[in-house]
Structure 1
């Protein structure tokens, strides 16, 4: 970005692109404050998009789920890796081409929508395999996929998220299932569609003709890495997978522009959300000790900035009781 934005974060951007799992909901329950934050954006006439790697629901189903949770959403605001993968196959293959589908019913329906023929066995001689998350994916269909790929079928993965956030903790995601085939085949998929690849973000920006979009996500390795790769600003919220220790250790290609506890941060001042150094957040680091006062998330911004500048914060201690309490709140 050429000029740093000012004022409230949401006011500085013309499109907010939300991840879903871990940002808007966990499983089928809304994240605290998410409904109110999205409703507030809608009331202000802000453009919104939802970009999800989860391939187990179609856009209309996602919109229905969001609406049921109290989050205003329309199907044309939702971009899924399942739909994007099916469109990619539709562009590459002849009409009616046979595609072995590994995943949920939603992915199969997207393949049909793309003018292709879904099959479930390598014996059907599919010309491609598309693999997405599905709760019922098991050994039988994975074995069929391995046989098809070995026979020369194109292998497309909707995403490679290792885990899915849930109220009970991280659960195996599509990346874990892709790893089964990667191990069996000793090779990578021919193409991965979802984040951190830029496809979903590019579709969202093009749809809204946005000049200044921002990505909001909970994962450094998909949402934030994808935003960095696409040249977009990003906000990491700590309601899902990535946590303070992950932010501090983030490599350059996974570093967000801003960090907030949750989506309420969209309505905070940009300057308070930026990851900045000593003294600018009310906190400072000196000789391996954190000192200052205020919100622990503000302390996290200072710690992350110091770590990214090369300061060793691995044994950081609190100079005061308040600082020690902030470190404990951050799990550091």
Structure 2
């Protein structure tokens, strides 16, 4: 039996011409680069892959994000290589309202600047007669902004949001994300917003429009946004284990919510993703062997963080679940 994973005869960075790279938990966590990220992306660029840095986080402008990436020594980053959910939602709003309209801003400069670039005027109170509410993450968003948005939405204004990530990774741990703030307004109004960011398609369309590429690959750390978003957009995906979703989460993923590829980190862009063969309670990928015993999967023959080992584990787990509804636990010595 073959694997449900995708496979390649060449490194992903040769097989795909554009990497759509999530940022938080993939390229960096907080102010610091993920270990080895710059080197892996430099190698991917050397193989001819374009790099687009895309983020659901609307708190910073693309220029600010690009400056951060350059400070972390990511390769050849230009401002236009960064695409944010704020840019995607600004595009949606500009297409939906008359040119030069006034909109109620719930967020910071990361959202205001793309809205103004689309010719929209931002205000912070319903008294200034906005025609829409636009919400994006910023750490300083508080009760007064959320309340003003709630009043406007109850008055009948359409509600656009950059993204609905419930959490965001930080150096101190997982913190509430924009989705948690969106839920607060949902609770107050009963309304549902129009969403631009992952897992919706608008951010993917915005990225291809701005950066180009005919064979894109989404690279992310979250199943609920990055991987589901890639599936919604009809794009292949690579899940990495440096952010929110763990190997156990990937193993537990149901059909229709699974990545095309998996690796420990961005080094997975520059290796071949070999075929996996599954035979009942065993799987083989290159030098790696995965075996299930009493509901636990262990690996032999290869480092547990290697791409071959992870592919063998994931393929065997998915096969067992799909054949017998057996949910397995991965050995704790494997990738975190």
TM-score (normalised: structure 1): 0.89
Structure-2 residue corresponding to 1:296: 304
Structure-2 residue corresponding to 1:125: 129
Q: Is contact 1:248–1:308 with CA below 8 Å preserved after alignment?
A: no
Aligned-pair CA distance for 1:95: 2.1
Gaps of 5+ in 2: 1-5
Residue 186 (1) aligns with residue 190 (2): yes
CA change 1:315–1:250 in 2 (3 A) is: closer
Q: Is contact 2:277–2:284 with CA below 8 Å preserved after alignment?
A: no
Distance across 2 between alignment mates of 1:209 and 1:92 = 24
Distance across 2 between alignment mates of 1:68 and 1:166 = 18
Aligned-pair CA distance for 1:252: 2.2
SS of 1:296 mapped into structure 2: coil
Aligned-pair CA distance for 1:312: 4.8
Q: Is contact 2:317–2:328 with CA below 8 Å preserved after alignment?
A: no
Decide which of 322, 327, 336 is 1:309's aligned counterpart.
322
CA change 1:55–1:170 in 2 (3 A) is: same
Structure-2 residue corresponding to 1:216: 219
Distance across 2 between alignment mates of 1:6 and 1:250 = 25
Residue 12 (1) aligns with residue 2 (2): no
Aligned-pair CA distance for 1:212: 1.8
Structure-1 residue corresponding to 2:3: none
Gaps of 5+ in 1: 317-325
Structure-2 residue corresponding to 1:319: none
Aligned residues: 319
> Structure 1, residues 68-113: CA drift from partner, whole Å, max 9, x if none?
1111211111111101111211121112211111111221122111
CA change 1:38–1:150 in 2 (3 A) is: same
Structure-2 residue corresponding to 1:321: none
The within-5 A match list for 1:82-231 is: 82-189=86-193, 191-231=194-234
> Structure 1, residues 262-309: CA drift from partner, whole Å, max 9, x if none?
11111121116x796732231132564535502324253244323442
> Structure 1, residues 8-48: CA drift from partner, whole Å, max 9, x if none?
22211111111111000011110111111112222333211
Distance across 2 between alignment mates of 1:48 and 1:117 = 32
Structure-2 residue corresponding to 1:26: 29
